[in-house]
Amino acid sequence: MPSDMTLTRRGFAAGIAAAAALAVLPLPARALTAEAAKGLVDKTVADINSIINSGKSEGAMLRDFEKLFTRYADVPTIARSVLGTAARSASKGQLSAYTKSFQGYISRKYGRRFREFQGGQIEVAEARAVKSYYEVISTARLQGESPFEVRWHVSDKSGKSLFFNIIIEGVNMLASERTEMGALLDQRGGDLDRLIADLKTL
C-alpha cells in the first residue's frame, strides 16, 4: 500500500502538471462591451474626421479610406453577407478574390460618401446592446445642413472588435449593398468572375 507521503508527492506532481497544462491554454476571450464598441467607433470617427479635413486629393483620400476600412471593418463578413447565396457556391479562390475586389469597391463608395462631410465633424454619443452586437450612435454635423445620425454595428465574432454595418441617415449599408450586389450579379448572368473583375472599376 502506498504511503501518505507517496500520495502527497503524486498529488503535488499532478497539481504541477495540471497548472502547466492550464498555462499553455488560450485565455477565454472577453465579451464585447459597450465601452469597447464605443472605443472602436471613436477611433474610426477620429480617422474619418482626419481624412475628410486633410485637404488631400480625392484619390489620396480614397486610398486612406480603404486603409481605414481594412483596419476597423469586418470586410470578409460584410463581403460574404452582401453576396448572399452566391457565396455558398463560390470556391475558396473566388471568395478571396471577390473579398479583395469588394474591399476596394466599398471603400471608394463610402469614402466618397464620407468625403461629402468635408468641413464638418462626426461626434460619437453612445453605445447600446442589440441582440449579439452593439449599436454605436454618432451625429454628423455638416456646414449648412441639419445634423443627422450615423449608426455603427459592432461585433467581436471575428476575434476582435470591428464594425460590420453602417446606417447613414437611415440607409442601411448591408441591406442596400445586398440589393446592389444581387443586381450586379444578375446583370452578369450570375458569373461571379465577371463581377469580381468589374468591381475593380466601380
Task: Compute the distance between CA of residue 171 and CA of residue 175 in angstroms, rounded to an integer.
Answer: 8
Residue 81 lies in a domain: yes
Pair 178, 81: CB distance under 8 Å: yes
Q: Residue 20: is its pLDDT beyond 70?
A: no
AA identity, residue 181 = M
Residue 140 lies in a domain: yes
Mean pLDDT of the chain, nearest integer: 87
Residue 175 lies in a domain: yes
Q: Residue 78: is its pLDDT beyond 90?
A: yes
**In which domain, by residue range, is 116 found?**
34-199
AA identity, residue 87 = A
pLDDT of res. 8: 46
Q: What are phi and psi of 5, to 5 degrees?
A: -65, -40
pLDDT of res. 85: 93
Q: Band of the pLDDT at 120, cuts 50, 70, 90?
A: confident
Residue 21 lies in a domain: no
Q: Residue 18: is its pLDDT beyond 50?
A: no
pLDDT of res. 83: 96
pLDDT of res. 131: 87
**49: number of Cβ within 10 Å:** 16
Q: Band of the pLDDT at 19, cuts 50, 70, 90?
A: very low
pLDDT of res. 9: 45
- Give this prediction's pTM: 0.80
Q: Band of the pLDDT at 11, cuts 50, 70, 90?
A: very low
Number of domains in the chain: 1
Residue 26 lies in a domain: no
Question: Please, what's the b/e burial string for 184-197 (b: 16 or more CB within 10 A of its CB; e: otherwise)?
Answer: bbeeeeeebeebbe
Q: Tens digits of per-residue pLDDT, 135-168?
A: 999 999 988 889 999 999 999 999 999 999 999 9
Residue 9 lies in a domain: no
**CATH number assigned to the domain comprising residue 68:** 3.10.450.710
Residue 4 lies in a domain: no
List all residues 6 or more positions away from 147 whose beta carbon is below 8 Å from its beta carbon: 139, 140, 141
Residue 10 lies in a domain: no
Pair 122, 138: CB distance under 8 Å: yes
pLDDT of res. 108: 95
Dihedral sign of CA atoms 151, 162, 143, 58 in order: negative
Instruction: Return the bridge partners of 174, or none.
Output: none
Angle at 37 between CA 32 and CA 38, to 5 degrees: 145
Ranges 9-13, 58-62, 116-120, 186-190: which has the least confidence: 9-13
Ranges 29-33, 96-100, 130-134: which has the least confidence: 29-33
- Taking 3-state DSSP, the helix, strand and coil percentages for the chain, each rounded to the nearest 5, stand at 55, 20, 25
